[in-house]
Amino acid sequence: MRSADTRHRGPHPADERLFAPEWVPVLRRAVEETSWLLTRGYPTGGTLKLVGDRYALTERQRWAVGRAACTDEQRVGRAATQLPGDLEGRPVFIDGFNLIITIETALSGGVVLRGRDGALRDLSSIHGTYRAVQETDRAIRLAATALQPIAPGPVRWLLDQPVSNSGRLAARLRELGHALGLPWTAEVVMNPDRVLAETTDVVITSDSAVLDRAGTWLNLAALALATEPSLWLLELDGSN
């Protein structure tokens, strides 16, 4: 994977303007109103259009609002199944691309948002093609550093088979895991979301559909990035 490590997964050229400080209160209101409407059964597409038009949001801003919003029921349910920390030897499944790309984005200076459920999400899109960036190894190491003190049991990374270079990333994960003293496994499967949604083990992901079905989940991206001083974290969870 070394030959591809010449790029970053940084901000979109318009992000400095779209997510400037003066926009943050507007986006928080948009997330609050979107969540209120979703809670009452309004369809996602129509809700985002209604709220987005009201605040004259761009497509990228609407995307951020949609990723941060959730119903009250989803927020309560996800809070109830989120683990606070110590795993006490419990087996773990990791949504590989989901976690790595979020951390890569943060380390590259890109926007990472904290949703209403507390999960961290990026605004990157790999469109079926993944390429390693300069921050890839560091992202994996940060994940390992966050995992080690909370005592996980067997750790299994799952990567999407349809995404190009998934096999190369799996190989790199195994290599780094061995070097870091974390004998985790990394496998390429056709549909990781299905496995993650159906397992009874701890799940590490920010995928909303998986979180709503998971028995327990861990917000590892937040733990891994907690000490990063230059993180561009867009707080849209309603706590501020």
Asked whether the whole model's pTM tops 0.85, one would answer yes
pLDDT under 50: residue ranges of the chain:
1-5
Residue 74's alpha-carbon distances to 138, 213, 214, in angstroms, are 32, 10, 12
Task: Report yes or no on 34 lying in a domain.
Answer: yes
Confidence (pLDDT) at 230:
84
pLDDT at position 128 is 84
Task: Identify the domain containing residue 180 by its residue range.
Answer: 2-235
Q: What is the pLDDT of residue 4?
A: 42
- List pLDDT tens digits, range 114-128: 999 999 999 987 778
* 154 lies in some domain: yes
Residues 67, 73, 79, 81, Cα dihedral to 10°: -110
Q: Structural domain tally of the chain?
A: 1
The overall longest dimension of the chain from CA atoms, in Å, is: 52
Q: Assign 149 to helix, strand or coil.
A: helix
Does 175 reside within a domain?
Answer: yes
Q: Under a CB-based contact definition with an 8 Å cutoff, are residues 88 and 202 in contact? A: no
pLDDT on residue 3 = 40
Q: Is position 240 within any domain?
A: no
The Cα–Cα gap between 222 and 159 comes to 20
Q: What pLDDT is attached to residue 7?
A: 83
Order of strands across the sheet that contains 202-204: 185-189, 155-160, 92-95, 202-204
CA distances from 47 to 34, 35, 50 (A): 6, 9, 5
